[in-house]
Amino acid sequence: MKSNVVTINITRFILLLLAQGLIFRRMTFELGNLGYVHMLIYPLFILLLPLKTPRSLVVGLGFILGLGVDLFYNSPGVHASALVFTAYFRGLILRILAPYEGYNVEDSPTLVTMGFAWYMSYIAAAMILHIFIYFSVEAFSFVYITEIALNTLFSYIATFIIIMIVDLIFRMKH
């Protein structure tokens, strides 16, 4: 069972990295003067890791995946820093959203294992955090707070819809 979970997560890592770098990188839409819509699905790898994964491993994997995405985008450190931030705060989000009866630490936080409402809350909180940090690091100044907020909002909506579609198609357990 354990090797199955490792294989699934290695496969997920590779597929999300390639999907982000080869497909979603090219899917950027401009909304006139309001900003851009970017679809950032690669954080899904970090969010779907098993609950018992140590924080240091989650952060380390986030750094490696973020650097891989940065190679595709030619943006040294922007994706890596945002994903490390998200990976670090994943545990806090999980604690805030913990069900009354607690988690089964053998589970992964997926739509199938946790239920639709909990999963939507989890993905929504983590992705809004990730996307906001991403655009903040990219702009590197809060002088552009309006652009950061608009880019975050529009990219969040598009990303959330894509993630829900992917989850409904694949119905992942691990």
Question: Is it the case that residue 157 has pLDDT exceeding 90?
Answer: yes
How far is the C-alpha of 12 from the C-alpha of 28, rounded, in Å?
23
What pairs with residue 37 in β-bridges?
29
Distance CA 131, CA 83 (A): 9
Residue 23 backbone zone (phi > 0: left; psi -120 to 50: alpha; other: beta) = alpha
pLDDT at 113: 86
Q: Which domains does the chain have, with CATH numbers?
A: 2-170 (1.10.1760)
Distance of CA 137 to the CA centre of its chain: 16
pLDDT in tens, 115-149: 889 999 999 999 999 999 999 999 888 788 888 99
Average of pLDDT values for 73-78?
92
pLDDT at 158: 92
Residue with more model confidence, 174 or 79: 79
pTM of structure:
0.90
48 SS3 class: coil
pLDDT band, residue 173 (cuts 50/70/90): low
What sign for the dihedral angle of Cα 39, 69, 67, 108? positive
Q: What is the pLDDT of residue 174?
A: 55
